[in-house]
Amino acid sequence: MTGPAVDILPAGRIRLVETALPELPEPQRSAMDRVWAQAVRANPALFDGPVAALTGLERDGADGLVLFWARAGYRHHALRHVPGATALASLFVSVVQPSDDGRLMVGRMAPWTAAPGRWQLPGGTIEPPDGDGELDFAALRAHAARELTEETGSTTPADALTPWLTTRGGHGSVGVMFTAPPRPARELYDDFAELVRSETARGDQPEFDRVELIGSPSDLDGLAGPHADYLRPVVHRHAGA
């Protein structure tokens, strides 16, 4: 099955610039609130927490990007389902975690999440910094390390993550991707199993309900359910590398 086109962008340098959130006409704001309320009724685990929405992107020379972002709430993603509205794009990070035999770890989102059943790399949407804190490249890398730990149990420090790719896919959303050092496959599975045990013991629900290691784009065909739009081209790029 062919998914939406995903661009691989040059990203030797990434600079982030905060902007104001675009004003919404009242009819669109009301429609957004209605769609969000319906989504929350269908999935009470959804919450309108703070999120860094992507408001623009510019090339910065041959190998750089400038990412413009604004402080928003998760309900703004509901604009994608409002006819005539201009939806805000997402800004997220992902981690390519290879095993020592070259396969990549992917996870399936749990039923209670915003994307139930979707296969993706460990990662998540960027949240704005508190107060006067700065959202910069170091903050993106720290967020990526935190997501890797929270979703898979793999405790790789931020300074061990290496920038790799930046993608632009559905709704114009941009993902900044890092690679983690290879680890034995058995350790990766054991870390995830321990994460599930500890979170379940606390009464929490893990964000991934399953992880797998895949070695090629054809392996994705054996993973039933939706896939993040960037997953196949990223796996293809990694297999080629």
E strand or H helix that includes residue 195: helix 185-201
Q: Which two tokens stand for residue 31?
A: 């429609």
CATH number assigned to the domain with residue range 7-240, chosen from the 4 options 3.40.50.300, 3.90.79.10, 1.10.286.10, 3.30.1950.10:
3.90.79.10
Q: Which two tokens stand for residue 63?
A: 């190998």
Position 94, amino acid: S
pLDDT band at 1, cuts 50/70/90? very low
Residues sharing a CB contact under 8 Å with residue 160, sequence separation 6 or more, in sequence order = 145, 180, 181
pLDDT score of 201 more than 60: yes
Average of pLDDT values for 100-120? Answer: 95
Number of helices followed by number of strands (H, E) in the chain: 5, 11
Q: Which two tokens stand for residue 36?
A: 């969000």
pLDDT score of 61 more than 90: no
Contact 117, 111 (CB under 8 A): yes
Q: Is 114 helix (H, G, I), strand (E, B) or coil?
A: coil
Q: What is the pLDDT of residue 5?
A: 84
pLDDT band at 4, cuts 50/70/90? low
pTM of the model: 0.92
Contact 124, 146 (CB under 8 A): no
Longest dimension (CA), the chain: 54
pLDDT band at 196, cuts 50/70/90? very high
